[in-house]
Every structure is written in structure tokens, then in C-alpha cells.
Structure 1
Amino acid sequence: MTVQTERPPTGPPDVVKTDGRPGDPGKPRERARSLAPYLLLLPALAATLVFLGWPLVNNGMLSFQNLNMRQFILHLTEWNGIDNFKEVLTGEDFWRVTGRSIAFTAVNVALIMVIGTLVGLLLARLGKRMRTFLLVGLVLAWAMPVIAATTVYQWLFAQRFGVVNWVLDKAGWHSMADFDWMGSQLSTFFVVIFLIVWMSIPFVAINLYAATTVIPKELYEAASLDGAGAWKRFTNVTLPYLRPFLYATTFLEIIWVFKAFAQVMALNEGGPDRLTEILPVYAYIEGMGNQHFGMGAAIALLTIVILLALTAFYLRIVLKQEEDEL
């Protein structure tokens, strides 16, 4: 007696299709894939909330308190509502420092972007050896710590033993042999601006040079065949490719320069006679120096609001220009 048995299939197993119904194993897998990016962002989000969110909330709470040395020692909490903001906004010092900070930022950002763009274009035209030499110098200037750079500039512009005064004296300006660069508002701002621009140019130049490497060379060849000169090639070929980079870099420089604290504070502590204070230094001196901690917190919060307003104004201009170009 012969028993027939069913032969097992020799081909590949049937593919099981899923349609997302209850019990379908494909739905949890798709859900896990969709949640993966958000799970990867959780560590960065948690670090942002801990190191940025909580200090901002704590600063906001301090701005509504009357917190001086007495309250600080006795651990007293005296809420005074918006009195700190009223006192700051109705005083002349705050608006004077705000105008000074905006002008200070505008001058620095303009110089940084113009000089940085020129250096970046120069890098694109140099040979390999000279480009490497210049890149090394830019990276060293960029990598120098702020306080170390400020200390070097204090020595360079020192009144009695400074290198700058010695060079100017040897060049024929004998009246500059004993010049006090920190003795007036304009000369102090000159040194501070010189320092900030010197430290910020490498970022703009190196990134702009990197942006020029993605411009197709065929466009320059076509422009040359059409008889375009150097300026025409820059405005019609180079600038359109670099415009998004210039917008983003200007935005970053506005933020970095506006909140510059270490350079101004370490160089001359906002002097002489508090004439070179910008908003971050003003907030520190009022809060820590004069021990008006609630007042300093209010000034710091208003500084953030002003910076956000300037950023929004700049982004609005950029977006409007992009819409006009479309």
C-alpha cells in the first residue's frame, strides 16, 4: 500500500503583505521608524532644557524680585512685580547703552563680513601653498581663547610698553609714544572692535572659501567667453551662490557680536567711566558689581528680547529679498 504525502514547496515562501490592521506586525515597525528621529533628538533637547531652559526661567523669576545682598544672605524672597523693569525702562542709562550696543554690533558685523568675504575670495584664488599657510594662520587666530587674545591686545596697546605705541613712535608719530588707548571712549572702542573683528574674520573667510568650492567652473568659463570682467563674474556667478551663506553668517555674527561680554569686560571693564558698556556688560555691572541682582536679571531679560527683535527684523528683510528674487 502506497501512502502519498504532499511534497513541500520548493519555491520561496509567499511574501506576507501588511495593511496596517489590528494585529498587523508591520504597523508597530512603521511607528518605530517614525518615532526614531524624535528619540534621537531627546538627548539634545534634554541638554538644552537643563543648560539653557532652566537658567532662563530662573533669570525670569529673579527679574521680578527685589534681590540685593541682604535678601541674598538671609535667603529672603521679596517679590516686587515689574518694578525692576519700570526702573530700567524709565531710566536714561538703559536706552543709552542699548543704542550704543546696536551701533557697536552694526560696525563690527559690517567690518567682519566685508573683510571676511574678501579674505575668503582671496583663499579661493591663492595657490595651494599660500592657501595652506593662510588657513593655518586663520585657524590659529580663531582657536585662540577669548581671554588669552584680550590679554595679548592689552599688551599690544599698553600705554608705556605697548608694541603699537612703539611702532607708531618709530614711524614718526612721536605724540603716540605714550598714548593711553584706554583713556577715552573712541580709542577703547577702537581696540575692542579691532579685537572682535580679528577673532571673527576666520569663521567668515574659511566658510566662504568652502562655499566657493561648490560653484561650477563651467559658469566662470561661460562668463569669460561672454566677455564678462572680474566684477561681472563676481556679481553674476559668485554672489548668487554665496548669498544664502552670507545671509546665514550675518545672522550668526549679529548674535555673537551683540552678546560679546568677555572682550569688553576683560579689556577695560566697560570704562572709562562706563562709556564703553554694552548691554551684557551693563547687566553684569548692575547685577554683580552693584549687587542689584534683580535689576541685573531684568536687564539681561530685556537684552534677550532686544536681540530677538533685531533677529526677527533681519530675518524679515532676508525673507523679503528672497521673495523678490523668485
Structure 2
Amino acid sequence: MKETLTGGPDTQDTPVSGGPAGPAAAARRRRLTELGRPWLLLAPALVVLAGLLLWPLVQVGKLSLQDYEVKFGGGVGTFTGLDHYTDLLTSELLWKTVLPNTVFFAFACVGLTIALGTLVALLLNRLGATWRLICSVAILAAWAMPAVTGTYVWIWLFQPQDGLFSQLAAGAGLIDPETTNWFTERLPFYAIATVNVVHHGFPFVAITVLAGLLTIPKELYEAGMIDGANAWQRFWKITVPTIKPVFLVVTILSTIWDFKVFTQVFVMPGGNGSNPDVYNLGVFSYIEAFAKNDYGTGAAAAVLLTLLLLVITIVYIRTLFRQGEEEL
């Protein structure tokens, strides 16, 4: 028994396992467990997302490399390499119409949605609890309305001759109701589409920004007022820096949504393919694939839109992370 306690034959391996290598191995196992546990918890959701998003994206990428012909009972694809991408990137329609429509329309929608949503959030923040609830429910009705329904409302408002805005503009002598059609020209078409998208999207921004505003201590504004800061200065020096991550998040989401707008453009008169001047990438991809049966070009346009959104999202996320690191 004495030999065992003093390091006899039965305990010669104990110092080795309890030496420096033992704690290091335990620390490695603990670190691996800490790193692996979140991924284990996320695994079911990641499997579902892979099935719903990643697999279709792989199939679209595969389709963009083929000339695909639909036949009874299936389809036949002939590998063409990057021919569809070459044709797409050398298309005059893409560079002069489709991409400008997509980019300028998206940035206009994002800017106006963020601006209007922020103004509404600031208004809601100044209201009492009862009126805040009433106004929040009222603006959320616009967000809850289906995109198709909302688009038809705006079509009715701008209907040539008998639409409300057409009658008001004709009454003011701004247009000739017999010859004016808001949906045939590129600029008025996208102006109506922009109003439609902003009207549908600003409630989400307003409620999200309001949630951020409610977390700002009132003492900060009181200190700013004591220092002589006016309302504009308090907004830029206190509100914006404090809830900057909220603005970044709503900007990322609005950008993704507005770059891939389809319904609001396709449902409007001329947006379903009869007027190529109003194509955006989403509508162009659909028309090429399903109206012209050129599935390869349509898939290539969809891949291009996806890559464009990935680049924009990565830039925003890097900005968000950099902001978090600076705050730390």
C-alpha cells in the first residue's frame, strides 16, 4: 500500500496522465465541444435550408450550363458550358435596360423605404401608448396586404383616363387623359412601382427602428438638450450611432428584397413581357425561361441576380461586423 501511494508500479502512469499533456488535451476537447455544440444545434435547420435553398440553387446553376428541352415525361439537357453566360453578358438589352432598371429601382426603393420608415418610427416614438398601438396596427395593414393585391390598387389609381391620379392630373392641366398612359414609359412605370414597393415595405422598417428607439435611454437626449443640441443634431449624434446595427440590418434586408422584386413589376401593365423597356432581372429571367422556353439563359440570369445579391450582402455583413468590433 505504501508503494502505491508513493508512486509504485500501480501508479507509474498517473503522473503522465496528470502532467502538462493532460490539461492540454482536456482543454482541446472542451474547445472542440464548445465549437461543435452550436453547429450540432443548428444541424436540423441547416439540413432543411440545404434542401430548400442550396439544392435548387445547384440545379439552377446546372441548368444554366445546358440547352434544356422540355419533353413529355421529363426533359433533355445538352451541355453548352458558359455559352449562356457569354450571350447574357454581351447582350445590349442586359446592360442598357435590365441591369439599370434593377439597380436604380432597387436603390431608390431602399433609400425611400429606410427614410420613410425612420420618419414613421420617430413619430410613433413620440406618441402615447394608445395612439402608438393604433398607428402601428394601421401601418402594418399595408405590410400584411399581399403584393398582388397592393399592385392592383396602384394600377387602379393610375389607370389611364379614369384612374384617380389620371383624373387629378388632367384636372390640373398636367396631362392629356386621352393620350397619357403611365405604364408605357420606363420612368413613370418605375415611379409607380417604387411607390408601390415603398408603401408595402416601410412598415417593417418603421416597427424595427421603433424597437431600436425604445432601447435608447432618455438621459442621452436630456444630456444633448442641456448641451444645446437641436433635434437634427440629437438624431445624428445620438439616435443614429446608438441604433446603427438596426439600420444596417433593415438596409440589408430591404436591399435583398428590392433587388429581387418580381410581382410588383410583372403584374403591372407591360411588365409581363410585352414591354422590354421595363424588364428587371427577375422578370427577364422569367420571360427567357418560361415565355421563350430558353431555360439556360433564364437560369443564367437567375444565377447573375443571386451573385449580385451575395456580393451586396457580404459587403453589408462585413460592415456590420466591423461596427461591432469597433464598439468592443
Q: TM-score, normalised by structure 1?
A: 0.82
- Summarize the alignment of residues 175-254 of structure 1 with structure 2, pairs less than 5 Å apart: 175=175, 177-178=177-178, 179-254=180-255
Which digits, 9 at most, give the CA deviation of each residue in 1:44-72, with x for residues without a partner? 11210111111111111111111145x67
Shift of 1:288: 0.8
Question: Contact conserved, 2:66 with 2:77, CA < 8 A, in 1?
Answer: yes
**How far, CA to CA, are the matches of 1:32 and 1:175 in structure 2?**
70
Shift of 1:184: 1.1
- Summarize the alignment of residues 59-74 of structure 1 with structure 2, pairs less than 5 Å apart: 59-69=60-70
Amino acid at match of 2:313: T
Shift of 1:320: 6.4
Shift of 1:285: 0.6
Shift of 1:39: 3.6
**How far, CA to CA, are the matches of 2:311 and 2:36 in structure 1?**
34
Q: Which residue, out of 291, 309, 312, partners 2:311?
A: 309
Q: Residues 29 and 227 of structure 1: is their aligned pair in 2 closer, same or farther, counting only changes over 3 Å?
A: closer
Question: Contact conserved, 1:102 with 1:258, CA < 8 A, in 2?
Answer: yes
Amino acid at match of 2:222: E
Q: Percent identity?
A: 36
Question: Contact conserved, 1:270 with 1:276, CA < 8 A, in 2?
Answer: no
Describe the SS at the equivalent of 2:196: helix
Amino acid at match of 1:125: R
The question of 1:78 aligning with 2:105 is answered: no
**How far, CA to CA, are the matches of 1:160 and 1:34 in structure 2?**
65
Q: Residues 103 and 318 of structure 1: is their aligned pair in 2 closer, same or farther, counting only changes over 3 Å?
A: farther
The question of 1:45 aligning with 2:46 is answered: yes
Amino acid at match of 2:305: T
**How far, CA to CA, are the matches of 1:38 and 1:300 in structure 2?**
30
Shift of 1:118: 1.1
Q: Residues 251 and 283 of structure 1: is their aligned pair in 2 closer, same or farther, counting only changes over 3 Å?
A: same
Deviates more, 1:276-285 or 1:119-128: 119-128
Describe the SS at the equivalent of 2:78: coil
Shift of 1:254: 0.8
In structure 2, list runs of 5 or more residues that go unmatched. Answer: 1-17, 23-28
Describe the SS at the equivalent of 2:159: coil
Shift of 1:259: 0.5
Q: Which residue, out of 270, 292, 297, partners 1:295?
A: 297
Describe the SS at the equivalent of 1:42: helix
Q: Residues 177 and 99 of structure 1: is their aligned pair in 2 closer, same or farther, counting only changes over 3 Å?
A: closer
Shift of 1:227: 2.2
Q: Residues 99 and 73 of structure 1: is their aligned pair in 2 closer, same or farther, counting only changes over 3 Å?
A: farther
The question of 1:274 aligning with 2:276 is answered: yes
Question: Contact conserved, 2:248 with 2:316, CA < 8 A, in 1?
Answer: no
Shift of 1:176: 5.3
**How far, CA to CA, are the matches of 2:159 and 2:80 in structure 1?**
45
**How many residues are matched?**
301
Q: Could you tell me which residue of structure 1 aligns to residue 91 of structure 2?
A: 91
Shift of 1:314: 4.3
Shift of 1:74: 7.0
Amino acid at match of 1:298: A
Which digits, 9 at most, give the CA deviation of each residue in 1:185-229, with x for residues without a partner? 111111100100101110111111111001001111222222222
Q: Residues 232 and 276 of structure 1: is their aligned pair in 2 closer, same or farther, counting only changes over 3 Å?
A: same
**How far, CA to CA, are the matches of 2:313 and 2:272 in structure 1?**
25
Amino acid at match of 2:294: H
Q: Residues 113 and 93 of structure 1: is their aligned pair in 2 closer, same or farther, counting only changes over 3 Å?
A: same
Task: Give the alignment's Cα RMSD to 1 decimal.
Answer: 3.0
Q: Residues 244 and 36 of structure 1: is their aligned pair in 2 closer, same or farther, counting only changes over 3 Å?
A: closer
Shift of 1:256: 0.6
Q: Residues 38 and 199 of structure 1: is their aligned pair in 2 closer, same or farther, counting only changes over 3 Å?
A: same
Shift of 1:145: 0.8
Shift of 1:31: 9.1
Amino acid at match of 1:242: I
Q: Could you tell me which residue of structure 1 aligns to residue 155 of structure 2?
A: 154
Q: Could you tell me which residue of structure 1 aligns to residue 173 of structure 2?
A: 173
Q: Residues 185 and 72 of structure 1: is their aligned pair in 2 closer, same or farther, counting only changes over 3 Å?
A: farther
**How far, CA to CA, are the matches of 1:199 and 1:136 in structure 2?**
14
Q: Residues 182 and 213 of structure 1: is their aligned pair in 2 closer, same or farther, counting only changes over 3 Å?
A: same
Q: Residues 182 and 72 of structure 1: is their aligned pair in 2 closer, same or farther, counting only changes over 3 Å?
A: farther
Q: TM-score, normalised by structure 2?
A: 0.82
Q: Could you tell me which residue of structure 1 aligns to residue 13 of structure 2?
A: none
Shift of 1:112: 0.9
Question: Contact conserved, 1:109 with 1:254, CA < 8 A, in 2?
Answer: yes
**How far, CA to CA, are the matches of 1:282 and 1:139 in structure 2?**
31
Amino acid at match of 1:181: W
Q: Could you tell me which residue of structure 1 aligns to residue 11 of structure 2?
A: none
The question of 1:124 aligning with 2:134 is answered: no
